């Protein structure tokens, strides 16, 4: 570690199973804890960096870990924080590969766990108590809890889907309520995107044809119509009269020929006019066609207004979307019923799994209770009775439908919640008893205790140390302590010293260790009686190791 707290540079090889780290108050032992917390993913502050350094770096090698292929390998983890970085952003790598803080935390969680000076307070948290109970359960409990979590999460997912489906159906039903007649009217028009424009053009064309037909009909009427036969009939009569007059007056035939030619031309023109008038169509039919298209246009405009569409294209889109959503609405009925049925099944399965889990947890609670009480006797707490109760919760959650409650009874009195009974020292011993009671799967590779002996002394401290050493046979135990009897039990010992502005960390053995334990005993490392006492503690620990 470099630039961490008061430590400019330090390197530790943790080869022991039970390791003690000691030193004067204020020497910088907490900097070691901060370094391990930083390595394991805790969010740092810039104040975490040594005052004379530009940044902090912590590197660790975890030796001989089981690899995915069954071989063993070393795991190399690094994390650094630069004073120049924005906020408290750090960099982390595993095997040289950059990783996120979440990945770092997840990777090291089974390897290192830190029990701070206030770790015993976690015993007061219901969730922590439930986790400790589960740790004493067999594989059947783990499988039941995982099965409950899987079903509960599926249930939550389906309930969300069911809620969203019901809301969507209500929205669609509301949006298209009473629209079926409107849709049928729109569809009856057999619309195309250009229908409105085409119909308007067609109306204008019909109007033009009607005007032309009416004009030609009027001309034809003038030429050939009326009671007297029109202009053509009048000209025929005139020619007859002129023919009769020509005989009386003695006019020549050439003069009459001109009149007859004019009559013939007028008759041809009249027939041509009649043909053109007929070609324009029947005015009554044109008017009927006009009224038909005008009615369609009027209906189209009303439908646009009623549907809130600005043009035919958007009206067609409205019909398409409505038909699609209404078809989906019909089809979704089956999915709704299937989802409702599956939700009912899952609720029964969740309830059944929760009931089974409660039974298994109560069995595990008894096992934890028995183990902890056995260890409490070894920790000079014979008068205490540890009790674990599993109580039903109001609602089922993914971790079950109950909560655990740790209680202590003293000298035959009824148990009461731990927080109301235990002192700080008693909580510390209870924490140790629970840690020793944990199944191997619950223990990390390395467990770090930061002054777990707080509130302990004399025989109680010695007994706590024996339990911690017992725990170290199952996981490497690192103990930062001010208690000489605990430090003497360790099989590896590091001393933290303050030298000027720097904190130094070094391993001590032999006489150096005697001197340090004598200091812890009496405050005077030169005291011969203290040194003799220190040697006695170390020799006793060596014999019992």
Q: Mind listing the pLDDT tens digit for each residue in 281-300?
A: 677 788 888 899 999 999 99
| Kind plus residue range of the DSSP H or E element containing 258 | helix 253-279
3-state secondary structure 190-249: CCCCCHHHHHHHHHHHHHHHHHHHHHHHHHHHHHHCCCCCHHHHHHHHHHHHHHHHHHHH
Provide the phi-psi class of 400: left if phi over 0, else alpha when psi is between -120 and 50, else beta: left
Partner residues linked to 251 by β-bridges? none
What gap in Å lies between CA 7 and CA 24, rounded to an integer?
15
pLDDT band of residue 253 (cuts 50, 70, 90) is: low
How many other C-beta atoms lie within 10 A of the C-beta of residue 288? 10
Cα separations in angstroms, 334 against 3, 176, 328, 329, 341: 65, 20, 10, 10, 11
pLDDT band of residue 111 (cuts 50, 70, 90) is: very high
What gap in Å lies between CA 21 and CA 27, rounded to an integer?
11
What gap in Å lies between CA 542 and CA 536, rounded to an integer?
10
Q: What would the mean pLDDT of 377-400 be, rounded to a whole number?
A: 88
What are 492-509's pLDDT values in tens digits?
Answer: 999 999 888 788 999 999
Q: What pLDDT shows up at residue 514?
A: 94
pLDDT band of residue 256 (cuts 50, 70, 90) is: low
Q: Is residue 283 within 8 Å of residue 213, measured between CB atoms?
A: yes
Q: Dihedral sign, CA of 476, 478, 483, 484?
A: positive
What gap in Å lies between CA 488 and CA 468, rounded to an integer?
12
Q: What would the mean pLDDT of 157-168 be, rounded to a whole number?
A: 95
Top-confidence residue, 240 or 15: 15
Q: Is residue 27 within 8 Å of residue 498, measured between CB atoms?
A: yes
- Range 232-237, long-range pairs (CB < 8 A, 24+ positions): 232/263, 232/266, 232/267, 232/270, 235/262, 235/263, 235/266, 236/263
How many other C-beta atoms lie within 10 A of the C-beta of residue 437? 23
pLDDT band of residue 117 (cuts 50, 70, 90) is: low
Q: How many angstroms from the chain centroid is the CA of residue 370?
A: 41
Residue tagged 């030193």 (tokens): 23
Q: Is residue 452 within 8 Å of residue 428, measured between CB atoms?
A: yes
Look at residue 123 and give its three-state secondary structure.
helix
pLDDT band of residue 70 (cuts 50, 70, 90) is: low
Q: What pLDDT shows up at residue 120?
A: 60
What are 433-481's pLDDT values in tens digits?
Answer: 888 888 887 788 999 988 777 666 677 777 888 888 888 898 999 999 8
What gap in Å lies between CA 197 and CA 193, rounded to an integer?
9
Q: What six digits make up the tokens of 42? A: 């805790």
Q: Is residue 436 within 8 Å of residue 469, measured between CB atoms?
A: no
Using a pLDDT cut of 70, give the percent of the chain over it. 91
Q: Dihedral sign, CA of 183, 188, 191, 197?
A: negative
Is the pLDDT assigned to residue 67 strictly greater than 60?
no
Q: Cβ neighbours of residue 119 under 8 Å, at least 6 residues apart?
A: 431, 449, 450, 452
Q: What pLDDT shows up at residue 459?
A: 76
Is the pLDDT assigned to residue 526 strictly greater than 80?
yes
In terms of Cα–Cα distance, which of 10, 19, 8, 6 is closest to 513?
19
Q: At 391, phi and psi to the nearest 5? A: -110, 145
Q: What six digits make up the tokens of 541? A: 């620990």
Q: Is residue 203 within 8 Å of residue 294, measured between CB atoms?
A: yes
Beta strand extents in 398-491 (DSSP E only): 400-410, 416-417, 446-450, 476-480
Q: What pLDDT shows up at residue 112?
A: 92
Window from 14-28, 265-279, 308-322, 396-410 with minimum mean pLDDT: 265-279
In terms of Cα–Cα distance, which of 497, 530, 494 is closest to 514?
530
Q: What would the mean pLDDT of 124-138 be, rounded to a whole number?
A: 82
DSSP output for 290-315: HHHHHHHHHHHHHHHHHHT-SSHHHH
Is the pLDDT assigned to residue 319 strictly greater than 70?
yes
What gap in Å lies between CA 21 and CA 508, rounded to an integer?
10
């Amino acid at each position: 570690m470099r630039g961490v707290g008061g430590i400019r540079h330090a390197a530790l090889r943790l080869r022991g199973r039970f390791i003690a780290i000691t030193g004067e108050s204020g020497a910088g032992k907490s900097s070691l804890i901060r370094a391990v917390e930083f390595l394991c993913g805790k969010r740092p502050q810039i104040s975490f960096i040594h005052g004379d350094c530009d940044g902090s770096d912590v590197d660790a090698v975890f030796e001989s870990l089981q690899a995915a292929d069954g071989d063993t390998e070393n795991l190399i983890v690094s994390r650094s924080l630069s004073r120049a970085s924005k906020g408290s952003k750090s960099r982390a790598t595993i095997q040289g590969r950059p990783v996120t803080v979440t990945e770092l935390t997840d990777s090291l969680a089974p390897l290192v766990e830190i029990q701070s000076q206030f770790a015993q307070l976690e015993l007061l948290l219901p969730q922590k108590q439930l986790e400790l109970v589960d740790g004493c359960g067999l594989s059947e409990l783990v499988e039941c809890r995982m099965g409950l979590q899987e079903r509960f999460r599926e249930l939550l997912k389906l309930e969300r889907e069911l809620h969203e489906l019901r809301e969507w159906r209500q929205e669609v039903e509301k949006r298209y309520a009473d629209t079926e007649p409107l849709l049928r009217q729109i569809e009856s028009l057999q619309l195309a995107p250009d229908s409105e424009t085409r119909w308007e053009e067609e109306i204008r064309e019909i109007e033009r044809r009607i005007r032309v037909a009416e004009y030609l009909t009027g001309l034809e009427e003038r030429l050939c119509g009326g009671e007297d036969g029109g202009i053509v009939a009048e000209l025929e009569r005139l020619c007859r009269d002129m023919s009769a007059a020509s005989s009386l007056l003695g006019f020549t035939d050439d003069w009459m020929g001109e009149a007859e030619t004019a009559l013939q031309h007028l008759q041809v023109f009249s027939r041509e006019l009649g043909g053109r008038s007929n070609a324009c169509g029947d005015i009554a039919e044109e008017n009927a066609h006009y009224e038909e298209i005008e009615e369609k246009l009027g209906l189209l405009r009303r439908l646009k207004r009623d549907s809130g569409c600005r043009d035919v294209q958007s009206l067609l889109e409205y019909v398409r979307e409505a038909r699609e959503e209404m078809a989906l609405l019909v089809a979704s009925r089956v999915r709704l019923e299937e989802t409702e049925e599956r939700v009912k099944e899952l609720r029964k399965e969740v309830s059944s799994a929760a009931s089974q889990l409660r039974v298994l947890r109560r069995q595990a609670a008894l096992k934890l209770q028995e183990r902890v009480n056995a260890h409490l006797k070894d920790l000079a707490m014979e008068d205490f009775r540890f009790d674990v109760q599993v109580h039903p919760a109001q609602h089922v959650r993914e971790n079950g439908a109950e909560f655990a409650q740790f209680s202590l009874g003293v000298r035959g009195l009824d148990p009461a919640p731990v927080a109301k009974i235990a002192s700080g020292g008693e909580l510390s011993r209870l924490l140790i008893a629970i840690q020793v009671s944990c199944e191997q799967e619950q223990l990390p590779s390395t467990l770090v205790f930061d002054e777990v002996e707080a509130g302990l002394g004399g025989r109680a401290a010695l007994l706590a140390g024996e339990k911690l050493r017992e725990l170290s046979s199952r996981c490497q135990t690192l103990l930062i302590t001010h208690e000489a009897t605990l430090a003497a039990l360790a099989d590896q010992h590091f001393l933290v010293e303050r030298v000027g502005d720097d904190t130094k960390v070094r391993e001590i053995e032999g006489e150096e260790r005697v001197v340090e334990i004598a200091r812890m005993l009496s405050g005077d490392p030169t005291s011969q009686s203290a040194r003799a006492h220190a040697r006695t503690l170390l020799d006793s620990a060596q014999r019992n190791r």
